[in-house]
Amino acid sequence: MSDACDNRPETRNPGLVSDKKNDVRTVTGQPRLTPVAEAARLKRQADEAGALRANLRRRKAQARARAEQELPAQPSHSHPETT
């Protein structure tokens, strides 16, 4: 059997290796995602960014609330009332 008729993935193009359904490696060995996998990666990235922004807003609100609790009550005038 000649190499021209060999349809095994590792002999068709020895520079391409596919470990997973959505992970295709180029000749240089760098991963290249299919359009579906790339869209899923971008969605995960956007979801993560949204979650990080929400977490930051929540932490800032907590810090503001804590700071307000720690401030001593300021009297409305400079001299205390005497009775």
15 three-state secondary structure: coil
With beta carbons less than 8 A apart as the criterion, state whether 68 and 60 touch: no
Question: From the DSSP assignment, how many helices (H) and strands (E) are in the chain?
Answer: 2, 3
The owner of tokens 């295709």 is 24
What does the pLDDT look like over 16-75, one tens digit per residue?
445 555 555 666 677 788 999 999 999 999 999 999 999 999 999 999 999 998 876 665
Question: One-letter amino acid identity for 9?
Answer: P
- d(C-alpha 10, C-alpha 29), whole Å: 14
- Domain boundaries along the sequence of the chain: 1-33, 34-68
